Structure 1
Amino acid sequence: MISLPILHFNDVYRVQPFKLHPTSKDTIDVTQFAAMLSGARDQWPERPDGLRDGLVLFSGDVFSPSTESSVTRGSHMVPVMNEFRPDVSMTGPAFVLFNPFTHVLSYTRQAIMILILPWLLSNVVDTTTGRVPEPLHEFQVLERAGVRIGVIGLIEKEWIGTISSWPSTFKYKDVAEVGRDLSRRLRDPNGEYKCDIIIALTHARIPNDIQFAKTLAAHSPSVQDANSTASTHGVDLLLGGHDHLYYISKGVTAWEGYDVNEPVLGAEQDEGDVLVVKSGTDFRDLSEFVLVLEDTPEGSVRRKVIKGIRGKRLSTQPGSKRSERMAKLLEKLLSSVSSSLKAPVCKTDIELDCRSGLVRTAESASGNWFADVLRHAYDDALCLKGCGGADGVLICGGTIRGDSTYGPGNITLGDILEILPFQDPIVVLELDGEALWAALEAALSTWPAQEGRFPVVSGFRVSWDSRRPPNQRILGIWLVSEPSGSVSSTPSHSGTSTPASLSVTSLLQDAVNTASATTNTNNSNNASQQKLTDIWEVKREKGGRKYRIVTREYMAAGHDGFLPLKGQKYLVDDESGQMMSTLVRKYLLGCRFINSLARAASFSDVDLLHADSKAAIHREKARQDRYTKTTLASKWRAAASRALRWSKAHYRDQFNVAGREHMSDVDCFPGEKARKLAVALSEEDGDGDESASTKEDGEDDEQVEEDESLVIIHPVVDGRLKDEGRK
Structure 2
Amino acid sequence: MTSNKCFDFSLRMFVIFVVALTIVLPTSTLAAEDDSEDFSLTIMHMNDTHAHVEPLPNMLTAIKEVRAENPEALLLHAGDVFSGTLYFNRFKGQADLSLLNMMDFDAMVFGNHEFDLGSGEDGHQSLAEFVTAADFPFLGTNVDFSADQFMSDNINADAFTDSPDNGSVYDGMIKEINGEKVGIFGMTTEDTANISSPVNVKFLNYIAEAERAVSAFEERGVDKIIALNHIGYDSNPDMGNDIQLAANVDGIDVIVGGHSHTRLDEPTFITEDAEGNEKDPTVIVQAHQYAQLLGTLDVEFDENGVVVGHAGQLIEVSEKEADPEAVEVLTSYKGEVDELTNQDTGAMAMKDIPNPRLGDSDVSVRANETELGNLITDAMLAKAKEKNQDIVIALQNGGGIRAAIDEGPITVGEVIAVLPFGNDPVVAELTGAEIKEILEHGVRQAPAESGGFLQVAGMKFNYDSTKEPGSRIVTMEVAVDREYEDVVLEETYLVTTNNFTGKGGDGFDVFAQAYDEGRVRDIGEIDWEQLRDYMVEDLNGEVNPVIEDRIIDLLGEEPGEQEQPEEDNNDDGTQDDTNEEGSEDETDNGKETDNDGSKDEQDNENTDEETNNQGSEDKEDKVDSEKESDKEVSEDSNNEANSGDENNQEKGERLPDTATNMYTFLLFGGIILIIGMGVLVYRKVKLS
Q: Which residue of 2 aligns with 1:139?
A: 171
Q: Which residue of 2 aligns with 1:459?
A: 458
Q: Which residue of 2 aligns with 1:250?
A: none
Q: Which residue of 2 aligns with 1:241?
A: 258
Q: Which residue of 2 aligns with 1:87?
A: 106
Aligned-residue offset at 1:3: 5.8
1:152 to 185, 196, 199: 185
**Closer/same/farther in 2, CA of residues 712 and 315 from structure 1, 3 Å limit:** same
Q: Which residue of 1 aligns with 2:141?
A: 122
Deviations 1:352-399 (A, max 9, x none): 412303553654433222111111444576x5xxxx632111224443
In angstroms, what is the RMSD of aligned CA positions?
A: 4.7
Task: Decide whether the 8 Å contact of 1:95 with 1:101 is kept in 2.
Answer: no
**Closer/same/farther in 2, CA of residues 549 and 125 from structure 1, 3 Å limit:** same
**Closer/same/farther in 2, CA of residues 13 and 217 from structure 1, 3 Å limit:** same
Q: Which residue of 2 aligns with 1:327?
A: 327
Letter in 2 for 1:204: I
**Closer/same/farther in 2, CA of residues 289 and 369 from structure 1, 3 Å limit:** same
Instruction: Determine the C-alpha separation between the residues in 1 that align with 2:342 and 2:349.
Output: 19
Task: Decide whether the 8 Å contact of 1:352 with 1:405 is kept in 2.
Answer: yes
Q: Which residue of 2 aligns with 1:276?
A: 283
1:551 to 497, 516, 531: 497
Aligned-residue offset at 1:344: 0.9
Instruction: Determine the C-alpha separation between the residues in 1 that align with 2:277 and 2:187.
Output: 19
The 5 Å alignment of 1:69-468 reads: 76-96=95-115, 104-126=123-145, 128=147, 135=154, 137-141=169-173, 144-145=176-177, 151-157=184-190, 159-160=191-192, 163-165=195-197, 167=199, 169-182=200-213, 199-206=226-233, 208-213=241-246, 215-218=248-251, 238-245=255-262, 271=278, 273-282=280-289, 283-289=292-298, 306=305, 312-316=311-315, 319-320=319-320, 322-348=322-348, 350-356=350-356, 357=361, 358=363, 360=365, 362-379=368-385, 389-402=390-403, 404-407=404-407, 409-444=408-443, 447-449=446-448, 451-462=450-461
Letter in 1 for 2:280: D
1:726 to 543, 546, 563: 563
Identity within the alignment, %: 20
TM-score normalized by the length of structure 2: 0.59
Is 2:483 the partner of 1:533?
A: yes
Instruction: Determine the C-alpha separation between the residues in 1 that align with 2:330 and 2:131.
Output: 19
Q: Which residue of 1 aligns with 2:580?
A: none
Instruction: Determine the C-alpha separation between the residues in 2 that align with 1:84 and 1:582.
Output: 30
Letter in 2 for 1:217: D
Task: Decide whether the 8 Å contact of 1:349 with 1:713 is kept in 2.
Answer: yes
**Closer/same/farther in 2, CA of residues 563 and 155 from structure 1, 3 Å limit:** closer
Instruction: Determine the C-alpha separation between the residues in 1 that align with 2:328 and 2:211.
Output: 45
Is 2:79 the partner of 1:60?
A: yes
Task: Decide whether the 8 Å contact of 1:441 with 1:471 is kept in 2.
Answer: yes
Q: Which residue of 2 aligns with 1:34?
A: 60
**Closer/same/farther in 2, CA of residues 243 and 717 from structure 1, 3 Å limit:** closer
Deviations 1:22-81 (A, max 9, x none): xxxxxxx54443223223335567xxxxxxx66433222333556976887765433232
The 5 Å alignment of 1:498-647 reads: 532-534=482-484, 536-539=485-488, 541=489, 544-556=490-502, 565-569=511-515, 573=520, 580-585=527-532, 591=537, 644-645=538-539
Aligned-residue offset at 1:415: 1.0
Task: Decide whether the 8 Å contact of 2:271 with 2:281 is kept in 1.
Answer: no
Aligned-residue offset at 1:272: 5.6
Tell me: higher relative CO, structure 1 or 2? Use CA pairs within 8 A at least 6 residues apart: 1
Task: Decide whether the 8 Å contact of 1:243 with 1:280 is kept in 2.
Answer: no
Task: Decide whether the 8 Å contact of 1:396 with 1:455 is kept in 2.
Answer: yes
Task: Decide whether the 8 Å contact of 1:124 with 1:133 is kept in 2.
Answer: no
**Closer/same/farther in 2, CA of residues 462 and 348 from structure 1, 3 Å limit:** farther
The unaligned stretches of length 5 or more in structure 1 are 19-28, 46-52, 219-234, 248-256, 295-304, 483-531, 592-643, 646-709
Instruction: Determine the C-alpha separation between the residues in 2 that align with 1:569 and 1:330.
Output: 37
Task: Decide whether the 8 Å contact of 2:132 with 2:154 is kept in 1.
Answer: yes
Q: Which residue of 2 aligns with 1:529?
A: none
Instruction: Determine the C-alpha separation between the residues in 1 that align with 2:243 and 2:395.
Output: 35
Aligned-residue offset at 1:285: 3.7
Aligned-residue offset at 1:289: 4.0
3-state SS in 1 of match to 2:305: strand
**Closer/same/farther in 2, CA of residues 109 and 16 from structure 1, 3 Å limit:** closer
Aligned-residue offset at 1:460: 2.0
3-state SS in 2 of match to 1:368: helix
3-state SS in 1 of match to 2:187: strand
Letter in 1 for 2:439: L
3-state SS in 1 of match to 2:102: helix
Task: Decide whether the 8 Å contact of 1:71 with 1:413 is kept in 2.
Answer: no
Instruction: Determine the C-alpha separation between the residues in 1 that align with 2:183 and 2:225.
Output: 5
Is 2:509 the partner of 1:715?
A: no
Task: Decide whether the 8 Å contact of 2:377 with 2:396 is kept in 1.
Answer: yes
TM-score normalized by the length of structure 1: 0.56
Q: Which residue of 1 aligns with 2:585?
A: none
Task: Decide whether the 8 Å contact of 1:352 with 1:715 is kept in 2.
Answer: no
Instruction: Determine the C-alpha separation between the residues in 1 that align with 2:464 and 2:297.
Output: 59
**Closer/same/farther in 2, CA of residues 35 and 362 from structure 1, 3 Å limit:** closer
Aligned-residue offset at 1:95: 1.7
Q: Which residue of 2 aligns with 1:597?
A: none
